[in-house]
């Protein structure tokens, strides 16, 4: 399985990421997910979220998640971009691409990865009013 992880303070350029996609002829599904900062956190209005990561541990945890994905689904490739620093409302803070033979596998693997990432990867957020 091809793996690409980027943790960056730079804005996520979704069109550029989509153009860079590489997949073999046997793959029939590409799932993209963009996690976008909402204008509220709980009941409070916010203008942005500040993300902070323990970089080395985050990379390690993503590696473990990618290993587990490879055991569970026939995923050909996974690309993840996560922002750190201040991300304004309506901007993406997370972008995920999963390439698999079929849509069910791609959707399931993508959702699992996002759920597990939120649970175990040391990236923290602080809402900014």
Work out the pLDDT band at 22, boundaries 50, 70, 90: confident
The helix (run of H) or strand (run of E) holding residue 127 is: strand 123-128
Q: How many domains does the chain have?
A: 1
Work out the pLDDT band at 23, boundaries 50, 70, 90: confident
d(CA 54, CA 57): 6
Q: What average pLDDT does the segment 32-46 reach?
A: 96
Q: What is the CATH number of the domain that holds 7?
A: 3.90.1170.40
Mind listing the pLDDT tens digit for each residue in 79-118?
999 999 999 999 999 999 999 999 999 999 999 999 999 9
Length of the chain: 129
b/e code 50-87 from CB counts within 10 Å (16+ = b): ebebeeeebeebbeebbeebeeebebbbbbbbbbbeeb
The strand pair at 40-41 and 44-45 is best described as antiparallel
How are the residues of the chain apportioned to helix, strand and coil, as percentages rounded to the nearest 5?
35, 40, 30
d(CA 45, CA 39): 6
User: Domain of 109?
Assistant: 2-128
pTM as predicted:
0.95
Rounded-to-10 torsion of CA 105, 109, 115, 119: 150
């Amino acid at each position: 399985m091809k793996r690409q992880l980027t943790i960056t303070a730079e804005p996520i350029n979704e069109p550029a990421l989509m153009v860079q996609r590489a997949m073999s002829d046997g793959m029939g599904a590409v799932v993209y997910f963009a996690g976008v900062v909402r204008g509220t956190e709980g009941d409070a209005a916010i203008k942005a979220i500040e993300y902070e990561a323990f970089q080395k541990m985050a990379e390690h945890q993503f590696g473990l998640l990618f290993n587990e994905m490879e055991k569970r689904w026939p995923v050909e490739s996974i690309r993840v971009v996560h922002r750190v620093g201040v991300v304004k409302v309506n901007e993406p803070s997370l972008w995920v691409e999963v390439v698999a033979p079929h849509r069910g596998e791609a959707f399931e693997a993508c959702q699992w990865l996002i759920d597990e990432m939120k649970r175990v990867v040391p990236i923290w957020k602080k809402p900014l009013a």
